[in-house]
A and B are shown apart, each in its own frame.
Chain A
Amino acid sequence: GEEVAQTPKHLVRGEGQKAKLYCAPIKGHSYVFWYQQVLKNEFKFLISFQNENVFDETGMPKERFSAKCLPNSPCSLEIQATKLEDSAVYFCASSRPELTGNQPQHFGDGTRLSIL
């Protein structure tokens, strides 16, 4: 598609439950990025993929968080045993494959995760 599609828009989980978020990148984009926006305007990079391969996972919490991008499926971000501090808006972005400085990332509208 022409837009990054994230589902669901809102997700509510009790503390300790699992949460799974999905992202369909723009067709033809081979890079996918996940960001977490906790407080207003504060973004944190989590992980990026080049096709189905992890490209950069330096921002990914070592425990409880995992992500995948499998062929012919939406990418996913999964949080095991959620904590209150995981409440945030999770954004997915995608970009085209050229390895130059002028390929912007295009963002979806995010999934708002609320942990109760």
Chain B
Amino acid sequence: LAKTTQPISMDSYEGQEVNITCSHNNIATNDYITWYQQFPSQGPRFIIQGYKTKVTNEVASLFIPADRKSSTLSLPRVSLSDTAVYYCLVGAYGAGSYQLTFGKGTKLSVIP
């Protein structure tokens, strides 16, 4: 499973767009990139997943360059409730490889 590197922490003011970048230099051809969000005392919550280019859903966008060695999670106009730890995960889901490998995550603090 490819190792990921992301900033340990980030601060942002309410209403701003936040971009969290994750490096995954050893990503394999079959790997997908998945982001999870975790609030204190809760389990990780799936945010978004992508393979290449750009993916957008109702809560976030995921940008993946052509070489796929990094990805950027973009949160538009964050609010205080977006304060959480964000995890970038890279993995393939072929038979026998379903386990997720979490790194240390990025602790996002949204400031009023």
Q: Which residues of A contact B (CB under 8 A)?
A: 4, 31, 33, 35, 41-43, 45, 48, 55-56, 58-59, 91, 93, 95, 99-110
- Closest Cβ–Cβ distance, residue B5 to chain A (whole Å): 14
- Closest Cβ–Cβ distance, residue A83 to chain B (whole Å): 23
Q: Which residues of B contact A (CB under 8 A)?
A: 30-32, 34, 36, 41-46, 49, 51, 85, 92-96, 98-102, 104-105
Residue numbers in B under 8 Å from A4 (CB-CB): 43
Interface centre among A31, A93, A104, A107 (most CB of B within 10 A): A104
CA distance A45 to B96 in the complex (A): 13
CA distance A57 to B42 in the complex (A): 24
A42-B104, A101-B32, A110-B43 known; A48 vs B49 contact (CB < 8 Å): no
CA distance A45 to B100 in the complex (A): 7
Which residue of B45, B93, B102 contacts A100 across the interface (Cβ within 8 Å)?
B93
